[in-house]
Structure 1
Amino acid sequence: MIGVDVGTTATKAVLYDEHANALRRFSAGYALYRDARGMAEQDPFALLAAVEQVIHDAAAEIDFAHEQLLAVAFSSANQSVMMFDCHFKPLTRIITWADTRAEEVAKRLKHSPAGSQIYAQTGTPIHPMSPLTKIMWLNQTQSDKVAQAAYFVGIKSFLFHQFFGVFKTDISMASCTGMMNIQTGNWDDQALSLTNLRVEQLPAIVSGTTQERGLTPEAQAQMGIPVDTPFVYGAFDGALSNLGVGAIKQDTVAITIGTSAGVRVVTDHPVIDLQQRLFCYALDNDHWVIGGPINNGGFVYQWAVHHLVDANAVQHEGTDPYTLANHVIAGVPAGAHGLLFHPFLGGERAPLWNADARGSFFGLSPLHTRDDMLRAVMEGISMNIATVFEAVSDLVGKPNRVTATGGFARSVVWRQMLADVLDCPVNIPKSFESGCLGAVTMAMKSLGMIDHLDAVNYLMGGIDAYQPEPGAVAVYHRYLPVFKQVEKLLTPAYLAIAHLQKQSE
C-alpha cells in the first residue's frame, strides 16, 4: 500500500506492506508563491507532478510479478481552492490554506449576523484561510475569472480529476471549507448564497473510504502502476494525523507541532464551540475532529534560533544551532526567570482567530539574557498550545493523555516542556509519518482488511512516554494565567500595530 501526504511545500509517500509496516519513504517538493502580501499559492501542475513522482518512486520498489499494489490512499492539506473553466482548465493557481488575502472579507463576515450562523452550520471558524471567505474575496477582486469559472476545486478533487476524470471530494475535506453543513453532510445553502455558487460548481461529497479505479492513460503512464489500482480518498491531514497516532477517542488529544501546529480530539458526533474558538471537521462519516489550528509553531522557534543563538558559540561547539539552542534552553529554569513570550508572528488562528495578532516579549528586565529569551519562545509556543488544549478540554473533557508528533518531537527538552505546560502525560510515537499511516488505515477499511479504524492501535510502532514534572507544573500553573491576561490586554492594540507595520512597508 502507498500512503500519500500532500503538503504545502512537499508531498511525501510511504510504502507499506500489507500489515502497515513502513518499508520506504519518498518526498518531492514544489514552490509556495508569495508574490504579494498575504499570497500563498501553488502551481497545480507542479504539485501534480510531485504526487505522481512519489507514487512512481514507491511503485518502483514493488515486484509486480510477485506482489500486488493493494491501494493508494491520500492525506492532504485542507482549505485550498482554485477555479477551473468549463473544460477543467485552471483559471488560477491553488490558493492554499496559508493565503490570508481574504482578511477584510473575513472580518466583515465574522462581525455580521451571518458569521455566527454560518459557523454553527459548518463548524468552520470565520477566518481568511477558509475557502468560504476566499471565494467571497475572489468575487470581489477577480470577478472576471469568477464569471468564467465553472468549477471551484480543492487539492484532492483536482488530483482525482486528473487521475480519473471524476469531480468528487471526501467528506473530511469538504467539512474544512466552511461550506458544508455538518448536520446534513451536504453543501450549505447559506454558504452557497454568500459565495454566489451553484451546487454543481462544487465537487460531489463522498465517503473517505470511497475507491476510484481506472486511471487515465496519462496518469497511469506517469505513475507506472496497474490501471485498476484502487485510489482511496482518505481525509484531511490533521484528521489522519489523529488516526495515524491512534488518537481517535475522546480520552486522547493529538498535538502536531511542525511549521504550524494543531490540537485535535476525535468524537463520535459534531460539537460546536459557542465561543467560536475551535473547528469541527469530519474524519469520516462516523468520527468528528474537534480542535484548533495554530499558525505559530516551529517556524517561530526557527526565527528565534536564527536571531538569538550565538553563531560564534555554534562554531566553537562544533554543532548546529538547534542542538545548541536546545542545550541552552535545558539550562534555564521553567518560567525563564519571569519572561513571557506571545508567539503571534504570523497572526493567529485558534484560539484568537485574529490575523492582526503580533508577537511580543513581556516582563523583560536588564537581568534577562538571550538564553532566557530562547526558553521563553519555546514556552510561549507551548502555552499558546495550552490555551487551545484548555478549550478542547472545556468541550469534551480533559483527556488522559496527549499524543504528539511533528518536527518538535526530535527535541527532548520540548517533549518534557509540553507535558509540564499541559500537566498531562505526553506520548511520542516512534513513527513520524502519521498522516500516511492514517491514510492507509482508511484504505485497509475500504478494502475490508479491518473492520474499525481503531485497529490502527495494532499497526502503530512503539512510543516514548513523558510524565509531567511536579515542580515545573507548579511554575506553569502560575505563569499561564498571566500569559492569557497579557494576551487579552494586548488584543485591542493588534489592529493598530498591524496597520502601522503595513504603513512602514
Structure 2
Amino acid sequence: MTRLVIGIDIGTSSSKGVLVDEHGVIRARAGRPHGVSMPRPGWVEHDAEAVWWADFVDLAGELSAAADTAGPDATLSGLAVSGIGPTLLPADESGAPLRPAILYGVDTRATEQIDAITAEIGEQALLERGGSVLTSQAVGPKIRWLAEHEPEAYRRTDKLLMCSSYLVHRLTGRYVLDHHSASQTDPLYDLGARAWAEDLAGRIAPGITLPELVWPTEVVGEVTPRAAEETGLPAGLPVTAGTIDAWAEATSVGVRTPGDTMVMYGTTMFLVQVLTDPRPHRGLWGTSGAFPGTYTLAAGMATSGAVTDWLRGLVGGDFTALVDEAAAVPAGSRGLLLLPYFAGERTPLFDPDARGIVAGLTLEHTRAELYRAALEGIAFGVRHNLEAMTDAGGSVARLRAVGGGTRGGLWTRIVSDVTGAPQEIARETVGACYGDAMLAAAATGISDDTDTWNPVVATVRPDPRRHDLYDEYYQAYRQLYESTRGIAHFLARQQRAAAQQT
C-alpha cells in the first residue's frame, strides 16, 4: 500500500500544495496566486473566505484528485496546513469571520496600541514573559486596536483565529492553536510556562475565548462530512494542528535541532534558529518552537525579493538577464551600497520609518551594478540578523537555505560571502507545504523517518577574499543607516502626508 499525505500553505501572495508519499517523494504539486488588500496606508489584509478558504478548496480538490489516480494501492492518510502569521482574524461563536484578517508585521496600524501596552506592562516585563518586545508583528496590540476602532466587531468576537487555525476549524470544527503561533500573540502567551498568560489576556482580550493549545505535530481532528463535500477531501481524513508558514518551511529543510538555522529567500527574508531554552532579545522575536521541547529565535526583513522585483520593473529585462549581468560585476558593485529598507525594516531595527537608500551612484553605473547592490544590501541585512542571534546567545551550527531565491546561485553565494557562513541547500526547496507534509506524515505515523526525506544536495561556501572586502562594506552599511535615520524618518512623514492628501 502507498500512503499519501497532503500539505497546503497559504502565503502572502500565493498558496501552494503538495501530495507526498511516505518516502517523501512529491507526487503532485498545485499553486494559486492571490493578492493582499491595502484599504489604507499601513493596513494589509486578507479576506479569509475569498483567499484562504477559496485557495485551500481549490488546492485540496486538485491534490485529492491526484491521490485518486496515484494507483489502486494508494490511500490518502493525512493533511497538514500552514499559513501566514501571526494574523488576527476575529470570528463569532460559530467561527465565521467578522472582518478581513489583519496580517502580520507588514500591517502597522496598531502603533499607538503598541506604545500604550508597553507603557502599561513595561518593556522588560514583556520581554521576560513573552520573549519579545511589542512590535507590529504582535497580535495583542491589534486586538486592542479592534476593540477601540471597531467596537461592534469586537463585541461579537468569540474566537481569535490565525490562518492555519481557521482552516483547521473549517475542516474539523476544533478550535485550537499551536504553541508556536500562540507565542506570537504577545502579550497573551507566557513563553516560559508554555501556556496562556491569563492575567494579561484578560487585560488585552477581555470576553474572548482563547483556543486550546496544541503542537503542530498533533492530529487534532478529522475532515467532517460537510468539509469533505466542500473540498473533495475524504471524510474522516486526519488533520494536524498546523502552524505559521516560516516554521513549516524550516521543518521542510530539517531545521529542527538546536543550532539549526533557516534562511528563507522570498519576497521577504526570514530566519529561524532553534534553541533549547528561551533567549529574549530586543531586536528579535523569541518564540516557542514547532516541536515540543524547542524554542526559536526569529528574524524577518521587511523586503528582500520585493526589492529585486521593484528594480526589475524599474529598469526592464527579465530576471535571468539581470542575474547574469550582476554576476559579471565584482563584489562591492563598483562602489555602490544599498539599504533595502523600502518598506521600513523589521528585525533587528524595528523601524517602520526606515527607508531605502542607494549610495555612491555615478553616471557610469548600470542596472547590473544596481541589481548586484540590491542583493548585497539584503545580504548585509541577513548578517545583521545573524549577529543579533549570536548576541542573544544563539549559535549557527548549520545554515539551511530555502525558497525561490535559492535558484540561480548568485544570491546565496553573495549571502555566504557576506556572512562568512556556508549554506546547505536541500533537494526540495518548495517550502512550507512540503514541511506540512512532513508534519502530517509524522503525526499520523505513516513515516517515522521524515528527516531523510529532503537530503542536502549542495553547499554554498564563502570566498575568503570577497568576505574580507564585504567586511568593509558591511561596516559602511551599518553606519549609513545610523547617519541617515533622521532624514529617512522625515521623508516617511512626508510620504504619509502625501498619501493622506491623495
Alpha-carbon shift at residue 376 of structure 1 (Å): 1.3
Structure-2 residue corresponding to 1:45: 49
Whichever residue aligns with residue 403 of structure 1, its letter is R
Structure-2 residue corresponding to 1:195: 204
1:386 equivalent in alignment to 2:380: no
1:70 equivalent in alignment to 2:77: yes
Distance change in 2, residues 1:280/1:212 (3 Å): closer
8 Å CA contact 1:118, 1:190 repeated in 2? no
How far apart in 2 are the matches of 1:491 and 1:456? 46
Alpha-carbon shift at residue 115 of structure 1 (Å): 3.1
Structure-1 residue corresponding to 2:190: 181
How far apart in 1 are the matches of 2:156 and 2:221? 31
Partner residue of 1:375 out of 355, 372, 375? 372
Structure-1 residue corresponding to 2:154: 146
CA shift digits 1:174-206 (9 cap, x unpaired)? 1122221111122223531442424x5221111
Alpha-carbon shift at residue 366 of structure 1 (Å): 4.8
Structure-2 residue corresponding to 1:59: 64
Alpha-carbon shift at residue 443 of structure 1 (Å): 2.3
1:105 equivalent in alignment to 2:113: yes
How far apart in 2 are the matches of 1:409 and 1:88? 38
Partner residue of 1:159 out of 137, 142, 167? 167
Partner residue of 2:226 out of 200, 218, 229? 218
Partner residue of 2:100 out of 93, 96, 101? 93
Structure-2 residue corresponding to 1:318: none
8 Å CA contact 1:291, 1:388 repeated in 2? no
Structure-1 residue corresponding to 2:344: 347
How far apart in 1 are the matches of 2:12 and 2:285? 22
State the superposition RMSD in angstroms: 2.1
Alpha-carbon shift at residue 60 of structure 1 (Å): 0.7
How far apart in 2 are the matches of 1:296 and 1:32? 16
Alpha-carbon shift at residue 2 of structure 1 (Å): 0.6
Whichever residue aligns with residue 219 of structure 1, its letter is A
1:422 equivalent in alignment to 2:429: no
CA shift digits 1:72-92 (9 cap, x unpaired)? 012221111122233433211
Alpha-carbon shift at residue 325 of structure 1 (Å): 1.0
How far apart in 2 are the matches of 1:125 and 1:75? 25
Whichever residue aligns with residue 482 of structure 2, its letter is K
Distance change in 2, residues 1:456/1:86 (3 Å): closer
Whichever residue aligns with residue 345 of structure 1, its letter is F
Structure-2 residue corresponding to 1:124: 132
* TM-score, length of structure 2 as denominator length: 0.92
Alpha-carbon shift at residue 304 of structure 1 (Å): 1.4
Structure-1 residue corresponding to 2:493: 499
Structure-2 residue corresponding to 1:317: none
Distance change in 2, residues 1:160/1:370 (3 Å): closer
8 Å CA contact 2:6, 2:440 repeated in 1? no
Distance change in 2, residues 1:374/1:418 (3 Å): same
**Deviates further, 466-475 or 368-377:** 368-377
Give 3-state SS (helix, strand or coil) of 2:306's partner. Answer: helix
Whichever residue aligns with residue 497 of structure 2, its letter is Q
Structure-2 residue corresponding to 1:306: 313
Whichever residue aligns with residue 119 of structure 1, its letter is L
Q: How does 1:250-261 map to 2 (within 5 A)?
A: 250-261=258-269
Structure-2 residue corresponding to 1:328: 325
Give 3-state SS (helix, strand or coil) of 1:205's partner. Answer: strand
How far apart in 2 are the matches of 1:251 and 1:79? 24
8 Å CA contact 2:165, 2:241 repeated in 1? no
CA shift digits 1:323-346 (9 cap, x unpaired)? 111112112111122221111011
Partner residue of 1:170 out of 163, 178, 181? 178
* TM-score, length of structure 1 as denominator length: 0.91
Give 3-state SS (helix, strand or coil) of 1:201's partner. Answer: coil
Structure-2 residue corresponding to 1:337: 334
8 Å CA contact 1:11, 1:29 repeated in 2? yes
- For these two proteins, the number of residue pairs brought into alignment is 490
CA shift digits 1:361-414 (9 cap, x unpaired)? 223345544332222111111111110011112334542442111121113211
How far apart in 2 are the matches of 1:164 and 1:175? 23
| Aligned sequence identity (%) | 25
How far apart in 1 are the matches of 2:123 and 2:279? 17
Unaligned runs of 5+ in 1: 315-320
Unaligned runs of 5+ in 2: none
How far apart in 1 are the matches of 2:218 and 2:171? 15
Structure-2 residue corresponding to 1:399: 396
Give 3-state SS (helix, strand or coil) of 1:14's partner. Answer: strand
How far apart in 1 are the matches of 2:270 and 2:158? 34
8 Å CA contact 2:174, 2:221 repeated in 1? no
Whichever residue aligns with residue 382 of structure 1, its letter is A
Give 3-state SS (helix, strand or coil) of 1:353's partner. Answer: coil
How far apart in 2 are the matches of 1:435 and 1:294? 18
Distance change in 2, residues 1:269/1:398 (3 Å): closer
Distance change in 2, residues 1:286/1:143 (3 Å): same
Structure-2 residue corresponding to 1:12: 16
8 Å CA contact 2:240, 2:443 repeated in 1? yes
Give 3-state SS (helix, strand or coil) of 1:499's partner. Answer: helix
After the TM superposition, list the runs of 4 or more consecutive aligned residues in structure 1 that deviate by more than 6 angstroms. Answer: none
1:277 equivalent in alignment to 2:284: yes
Distance change in 2, residues 1:432/1:49 (3 Å): same
How far apart in 1 are the matches of 2:466 and 2:184? 37
Structure-1 residue corresponding to 2:252: 244
8 Å CA contact 1:235, 1:284 repeated in 2? no
8 Å CA contact 1:296, 1:346 repeated in 2? yes
Structure-1 residue corresponding to 2:297: 290
CA shift digits 1:115-164 (9 cap, x unpaired)? 33223211234112321111121122112221222222222222122112
Structure-2 residue corresponding to 1:448: 445
Partner residue of 2:40 out of 36, 55, 62? 36
Distance change in 2, residues 1:282/1:390 (3 Å): same
Whichever residue aligns with residue 79 of structure 2, its letter is V
Give 3-state SS (helix, strand or coil) of 1:71's partner. Answer: strand
How far apart in 2 are the matches of 1:116 and 1:399? 26
8 Å CA contact 2:278, 2:286 repeated in 1? no
How far apart in 1 are the matches of 2:35 and 2:283? 33
Whichever residue aligns with residue 447 of structure 1, its letter is T
Alpha-carbon shift at residue 479 of structure 1 (Å): 1.2
